[in-house]
Amino acid sequence: MRIGELARLTGVSTRLLRYYEEQGLLRPARSAAGYREYGEADTVRVRQIRSLLAAGLTTRAIAGLLPCATGPVPVLEACPQLLTTLRGELADLDARIDDLTRSRRVLARYLATAHAPAREHAA
């Protein structure tokens, strides 16, 4: 199938599919005319990529995890670096959550102590 059909089947734009290819996440075959050719396995691969992106993983991390992925959900099978990568991504996510929580506290404090502007009385 060509890129347009893969986009239709997966709900992912052709632009994103080309980006996934640039990142090494998809490796389509090429026709004699140079067109990208995808198979059924590529629809599963795109669903795996989307699911892993939804988990907050970067495309770089996903590239390392895809060899461990089976099924469209995906299920991650034990393979080299899997636990190290997932633990690192989880630690990064926890750090971002901590930063956002601190920022939220500061903003809430500013809001709580801010004085409302004096209201102008209509004549």
pLDDT digits (tens, 9 = 90+) for 51-102: 999 998 999 999 988 988 888 888 888 887 888 888 998 999 999 999 999 9
Residue 116 has pLDDT above 70, yes or no: no
Cβ atoms of residues 48 and 75 within 8 Å: no
CATH of 3-113, one of 1.10.1660.10, 3.20.20.140, 1.20.120.450, 3.40.50.2000: 1.10.1660.10
Rounded distance, CA 19 to CA 26, Å?
Answer: 9
Q: Examine the pLDDT at 13 and tell me if it is beyond 80.
A: yes
Between 107 and 71, whose confidence is greater? 107
Q: Is 3 exposed, middle or buried (0-12, 13-18, 19+ CB in 10 A)?
A: buried
Q: Identify the pLDDT of residue 120.
A: 59
Residue 122 above 60 pLDDT? no
Structure tokens at 8: 């239709």
Q: Where are the domains of the chain?
A: 3-113
Does the pLDDT of residue 123 top 80, yes or no? no
Average pLDDT, the chain: 90
Query: Which among 41, 60, 61, 56 is positioned nearest to 100, based on CA atoms?
Result: 56
Looking at 30-81, list the stretches that DSSP marks H as alpha helix, in order from N- to C-terminal side.
Answer: 40-54, 59-65
User: What pLDDT score does 15 carry?
Assistant: 97
